[in-house]
Every structure is written in C-alpha cells, then in structure tokens.
Amino acid sequence: MQHPNILELPRSALLIIDMQEAFRASIKDFDKFVQRIVVAAKGAQLLKLPIVVTEQYPKGLGHTVAEIAEVLPADVALLEKTTFSSCGAQHFAEKLPQTDIKHVLVCGIEAHICVNQTVHDLLAAGYQAHLLNDGITSRNETDRKAALAKMLASGAISSSVEMALFELMRDAKHEQFKAIQGLIK
C-alpha cells in the first residue's frame, strides 16, 4: 500500500511559477535554481507529466528565462497573470482540473509571495502541493525560510527535484530510469 503523500505518476503535474528574466539580477544563486528547474522540466517531460508555467506581468518583468523556456514542450502555454497566486491566472483553473491531477510539484519565485499564495490556493482547492525546495527561492533568504515554514505548516509537502523524480518512477526498472539518472548526475 502506498502512503497518500507519495507522488503518483498519472496524477501529478509540474508547476513553474514566474521564473522570469527580471529576477535574475536580484536573486542570489538564481542560476542554481534555474538549473534545478530545468532538471525538473526535463524529468517531467520524460515522465509525461503535464507542465504549467506562469509569468507575472511579463510586459514589465520579461518572460520565462531562456534556459527553462528552451526545454519546455512546444505545447506548454505560458499563462500571464497579475494576481500573485498562479491559481488566479486566466485559464489556470482549466489546466489542472481537466485531468485527474492530485499532486502538484511546485517550483519558482518568489517563495514568500507568488509561490506562497499559489500553494495555499492549491491546498484550499484540494490538491497536494509538493514543494521542490531546491527550485524555490526569493530575493531574501529570510523571506524564503518564512514562506517554506508557513507552507509546510499549512499542509504542503517538502520535497526536492531529485526526490520527486525518483518517487514518481518508484522502481529502477522504470523505462525512464537511466534518462532521469543522467539528468541528476
């Protein structure tokens, strides 16, 4: 029997929140977080997970950074928003409920604003929010830590890119095991 907090491959999706160019100069180790999200996006594709990407006011903040945008499937829509919660983006509500999604792997910025509000809205809507901690950051580490603590206290589940990918595969005999293993090395 599987614990209810373990990711289920056919019922999971990846959500990438606001990884936009304007934040690169103001977030310490931005490129490190970008690289973890690139691994998450590539792994999600190998495992055939739906991917949802949001952009906060792209007219002012620019679009999703090239490193991530380049590895996304061609059919991934970039959802523009002005609401802090991704759940408020036009068409967002249509992306997850149209499938049998239960688990949402969450990564992006900023932890204490858009990620925090999105996670709380996901939890309120009955989804499990799995925080890819190595893919979530803020301009200030104090804000990041406070956001992670609040989201966890509210019922979000702590995870990482590598943990989530291996949890989704469940077995070294999975057909994408070697490909996933190659991504994380």
* Catalytic choice (42, 95, 107, 114): 114
The pLDDT score that the predictor gives to residue 140 is 96
Q: Is 18 a catalytic residue?
A: yes
Give residue 42's pLDDT: 98
Tokens 């929140």 -> residue:
17
Q: CB-based contacts of 82: which residues, under 8 Å, 6+ apart?
A: 56, 57
pTM for the model stands at: 0.97
- Determine the pLDDT at residue 1: 79
Active site (annotated) includes residue 121: no
Q: Which of 18, 107, 121, 134 is catalytic?
A: 18
**Per-residue pLDDT of the chain in tens (185 residues, 90 and over written 9):** 789 999 999 999 999 999 999 999 999 999 999 999 999 999 999 999 999 999 999 999 999 999 999 999 998 978 999 999 999 998 887 787 677 899 999 999 999 999 999 999 999 999 999 999 999 999 999 999 999 999 999 999 999 999 999 999 999 999 999 999 999 98
Task: Give a three-class secondary structure readout of 77-106.
Answer: CEEEECCCCHHHCCCHHHHCCCCCCCEEEE
Rounded to 5 degrees, φ, ψ at 7 are -60, 140
Active site residue 81: yes
pLDDT value of residue 66: 97
Contact criterion met (CB below 8 Å) for 78 and 104:
no
Alpha-carbon distance of 87 to 85, in angstroms, equals 5
Q: Which of 81, 87, 95, 107 is labelled catalytic? A: 81
Q: What are the φ and ψ backbone dihedral angles of 61, each rounded to 5 degrees?
A: -105, 0
